[in-house]
Amino acid sequence: MSKGWENWTTEEIAEFQADFLVWYQQEKRNLPWRYNHDPYRIWISEIMLQQTRVDTVIDYFYRFMEEFPTIKALAEAPEDKLLKVWEGLGYYSRARNIQAAAKQIMEEFDGDFPTTVETIRSLKGIGPYTAGAISSIAFEIPEPAIDGNVMRVVSRLFCIEEDIAKASSRGVFDEAMRAIISPTEPGDFNQAMMDLGSSICTPKSPQCESCPIQNYCQAYKENRQTAFPIKSKKQKPKDVYYVAGIIENNQQEFLLQQRPESGLLANLWLFPLEELSETRFKELQSQYAPEAWDLFSSSQVAEDSPEFFSEQAVIWQKKIIGEVKHVFSHLRWHILVFYGRSSTPLTLQGTWVKPNDFPKYVFPKPQQKMLEVFENNRTDDKD
């Protein structure tokens, strides 16, 4: 494998760093976690930015810092309060990990954020990328922060043909970054790489004419920009099928169920779900296709209403009020949403909650989507 960075002279590397950093100072994004070098703020922002767009993170970051301004406040916060602030960001294990790490900092580092790459890496939920970002931005340690954006930039810069989807390839990009990272301004250098990858050196149709390192880019010289990075296709998410029951009692309360303490969406609240086969899902989809009916009309409940959840004493409306789809990293949920009423106690485990109290419960995205479907139906029926 050719290592193009080994062909650069010391002078060329210095020139590259200078040109790149000048561009960054002129074009860097105005982001709230860049106002200072506080490792706590940098850490929280980097965890939030995993699998999430910058525009989405900004408001969450402000709210998080208002609720938990210090490591101590985060460590001592009730988990349900933390998850409520995190609600909607997804990947809730991230929130639980940062709280575990905050407690670790309080216990093992006397409340002070650790200052070396090794000690930062020892914190719960912090891997090589996050450790590199924190150590370089907060403490000016020349440690690479290698994410997808950075691998794309570097793969084009040196025409690296290693598959970025393979964990074994990370060492190649680490070696390349260590050869070119600024030893005096590593934090700005890493952030310049992030900004370049997100705004100019994009996956498709890179804006090479606007690129500040165009003159150094081997892929540009060879007109092979779109050939990089090399990335094998990841496995498609598995399809899983559910029916959801929005069940209301005579007190205008709705049944919510809490997920188990571990696993997907741990401890979060949803309307009752029942897993179905794909065949049964499609049968229900066809049999109870939505019609222009009043959501609460008694004429729509009949002997052929659907039966779910071990035939609970629920009178189900004879139509699907909506369909929800949600993609996790490894699963794709398909949910048919039904509305029903119950006037007798149910054997289903759960908690009856009035709509005004919904904000007290942490709802993941699938629940928010189901609730939106229901609210839209109620609004439509009132129009």
Q: How confident is the model at residue 294 (pLDDT cuts 50, 70, 90)?
A: very low
Provide the CATH number for the domain around residue 77. Answer: 1.10.340.30
Q: Are residues 140 and 274 in the same domain?
A: no
Pick the last residue of a domain from 198, 227, 256: 227
Provide the CATH number for the domain around residue 242. Answer: 3.90.79.10
Tokens for 303? Answer: 């002997």
In a domain, 69, yes or no: yes
pLDDT of residue 18: 97
Q: How confident is the model at residue 234 (pLDDT cuts 50, 70, 90)?
A: confident
pLDDT of residue 329: 84
Q: Are residues 62 and 164 in the same domain?
A: yes
In a domain, 34, yes or no: yes
Residue bearing tokens 């200052």: 115
Q: Which domain holds residue 304?
A: 238-382
Residue 246 predicted with pLDDT over 70: yes
Domain count, the chain: 2
Strand partners, 163: 230
Annotated catalytic residue: which of 12, 15, 46, 323? 46
Q: Are residues 246 and 355 in the same domain?
A: yes
In a domain, 233, yes or no: no
In a domain, 205, yes or no: yes
Q: Are residues 77 and 222 in the same domain?
A: yes
pLDDT of residue 305: 63
Q: Are residues 296 and 202 in the same domain?
A: no
pLDDT of residue 1: 63
Pick the last residue of a domain from 182, 203, 227: 227
Contact at 8 Å (CB) between 334 and 364?
Answer: no
Q: Mean pLDDT, the chain, as a whole number? A: 91
Instruction: Identify which of 375, 317, 343 has the alpha carbon closest to the alpha carbon of residue 249.
Output: 343
Mean pLDDT over 280-305 rounds to: 65
pLDDT digits 0-9 by tens, 199-213: 999 999 999 999 999
In a domain, 27, yes or no: yes
Mean pLDDT over 62-76 rounds to: 98
Q: Are residues 158 and 285 in the same domain?
A: no
Pick the last residue of a domain from 192, 227, 262: 227
Q: Are residues 254 and 222 in the same domain?
A: no
CA dist., res. 332 & res. 139, Å (int): 40
- Range in 30-34, 341-345, 376-380 the model is least confident about: 376-380
Say whether pTM exceeds 0.75. yes
In a domain, 232, yes or no: no
Q: Are residues 140 and 160 in the same domain?
A: yes
Q: Are residues 84 and 140 in the same domain?
A: yes
Residue 88 predicted with pLDDT over 50: yes
In a domain, 37, yes or no: yes
Q: Are residues 63 and 152 in the same domain?
A: yes
Q: Are residues 108 and 187 in the same domain?
A: yes
CA dist., res. 38 & res. 61, Å (int): 14
- Whole-Å CA distances, 303 to 60, 244, 307, 316, 346: 47, 20, 10, 10, 20
Q: Are residues 98 and 19 in the same domain?
A: yes
pLDDT digits 0-9 by tens, 105-157: 999 999 999 999 999 999 999 999 999 999 999 999 999 999 999 999 999 99
pLDDT of residue 120: 98
Q: In this predicted model, which residue has the larger pLDDT, 147 or 301?
A: 147
Mean pLDDT over 287-307 rounds to: 57
In a domain, 295, yes or no: yes
Q: Are strands 269-270 and 322-327 parallel, antiparallel or unpaired?
A: unpaired
Tokens for 215? Answer: 């003159």
66 in active site: no
